[in-house]
Structure 1
């Protein structure tokens, strides 16, 4: 698998190999656009997220490199986000309509969805410089590939194990803390912070899956379910922001009142679902997970 670190191989070489695969995949998708430019952008942004997850894993051993390349990826993704962000709001309405939260309010929600879809299409029409931004994104990916030549990670097997175990545990510990904070405050920003760390944890166990495929696949699957639920909740929070800043785009007062009730119901269910989903995933202390990952990786590396 392309997004897997091979135990026993030089860590720098493995990280460079994986990063280059992700960069070249993004370049190929953006150039060919087999399903159109917007799907290509969506697929390329997935590669950027995987690259950022890889950088977060090794950040402790290469802080300057990781910070610089993470900023590169964050910035290029931002240049390609406008239509994707508008599409996410349409999908939020789709999920509301498909959930039990809609109830008898389907006509009002359907009308709002139609307006949000029109807004998305308008944004797409106004993106007259899209091809130029895609070309710039391809150039940025090529720069990222060149920058990989400057990465230097520990060469000894013992130190490489420590980098991977500590990197995984560091992000995992932030996920544990983020869950506690989100449950306590209920604030959208805190749930979004949890989402970020859960998604990175999923990437990290995918990267380390050759150490124990069964356990890592289970952790990745659980984190994936939680990440999807948190993503749906984040889209609702983004919709809430649009209601506050541009209510006329969404609908009239009566429709918005209906939408708010449905959003609260759906958001509450999603957060309850997340708490149940991650109860076992985040049950261990970070130092326990670090020791476990280190032991697994030492055994796998031979």
Structure 2
């Protein structure tokens, strides 16, 4: 089912419904065992996506209603799952580079692939305990969500969009442009990803228009994630022993990776300037007007995209 609120229904009931669905989905995914390594990695990835959607929904609420008994289990589960997924993301970045720009990696690809695959395999069984921690946190959250339904109206949803990640994402973008360091860019990526999910939640206001805006925000978040992975990949290249690659080839590869890294950041800033061209207040007001002008009973569900 699409990650979207039916805006012709009670907003509090809809937020509760969406959060229950995502928590249930994460629990089902985390029931996968590591015997099937590929299925295990996919399950971790999809479970983390479900947790991100939950956090985005929760942060639409006024601060007084976003109670810690909901937020804390989501944080605990997310932390428990992060390490395995981070290692897997590097493998995916390597595969993407090899497919799209094989000349970039050249003869270094086999050595890098072997190093990263070994790191992922070493982590999988070690992180079985982390999956159990995440499941326990989510099972506690299920109990809390059973009778939970916040009392909010549509105006509070629009304010939540403006107050939360529309404003925070724009501020993070400005800080990232000023500093261009790992910490500020990572913060921008997280804020942008949450902002995209919140806009997706409210996209029933005008699905045909907002689906494209959601897609561009998600594309920007993916670009920033890829930028981060390219940076980590450079660390692994520097750690490759010279006999595996050769000093000259390693230096040449580092130069190519640095060039791709810089170009990706430039592209992200160009897209970010367009995404953030509208002020948070104007964006929230526009969504409210779309909803007010929609035909009675309109609750179209856009297709779920990647997040």
TM-score when scaled to structure 2?
0.83
Structure 1 stretches lacking a partner, 5+ long: none
Contact 1:172 1:286 in 2 (8 A): yes
> 1:270-292 CA distances to partner (integer Å, 9 max, x unpaired)?
12222232333211112111221
Give the alignment of 1:141-220 within 5 angstroms. Answer: 141-149=138-146, 151=148, 153-155=150-152, 160-170=153-163, 171-220=165-214
Q: Does 1:53 align with 2:56?
A: yes
Give the Cα–Cα distance (whole angstroms) in 1 for the partners of residues 104 and 13 of structure 2: 57
CA contact (8 A) 1:199 1:227 kept: yes
Q: Give the conservation status (yes or no) of the 8 Å contact 2:158–2:287.
A: yes
Structure 1 pair 262/97, CA: closer, same or farther in 2 (3 Å)?
A: farther
Task: Point out the more displaced range, 50-59 or 251-260.
Answer: 251-260
- Tell whether the 8 Å contact from 1:2 to 1:18 is kept in structure 2 after alignment: no
**Structure 2 counterpart SS, 1:60:** coil
Write the distance in 1 (CA, Å) between the matches of 2:104 and 2:190. Answer: 34
Where has structure 1 moved over 6 Å in runs of 4 or more? 249-253
Secondary structure of residue in 2 paired with 1:283: coil
Can you give the 5+ residue segments of structure 2 that lack an aligned partner in the other structure? 297-307
1:281 aligned onto 2:275: yes
- Structure 1 counterpart SS, 2:9: coil
Q: Equivalent residue for 1:232? A: 226
**What is the SS of the residue equivalent to 2:275?**
coil
Shift of 1:172: 1.0
Q: CA RMSD in A?
A: 2.8
- Are 2:193 and 2:218, in contact at CA under 8 Å, matched by a contact in 1? yes
How many angstroms apart in 2 are the aligned matches of 1:268 and 1:110? 24
Residue of structure 2 in register with 1:96 after alignment: 97
Any conservation in 1 of the 2:16–2:149 contact (CA below 8 Å)? no
Matched, 1:85 2:91: no
Q: Partners of 1:104 and 1:205 in 2: how far apart? A: 36
> Aligned partners of 2:183, 2:136: CA distance in 1, in Å?
33
Q: Assess, with a 3 A threshold, how the Cα gap between structure 1 residues 280 and 24 changes in structure 2: closer, same or farther.
A: same
Q: Which residue matches 1:113?
A: 113
Cα gap change, 1:224 to 1:300, in 2 (>3 Å): same
**Corresponding residue number in structure 1 for 2:299:** none
Per the alignment, residue 44 of structure 1 pairs with 47
Partner of 2:21: 21
- Distance (whole Å) between structure 1 residues aligned to residue 276 and residue 151 of structure 2: 29
The alpha-carbon distance between structure 1 residues 206 and 104, as it changes in their structure 2 partners (threshold 3 A), is closer
Q: Tell me by how many angstroms 1:105 deviates.
A: 4.7
Deviation at 1:32, TM superposition (A): 5.0
Residue of 252, 257, 274 corresponding to 1:263: 257
TM-score (norm 1): 0.84
Aligned length in residues: 290
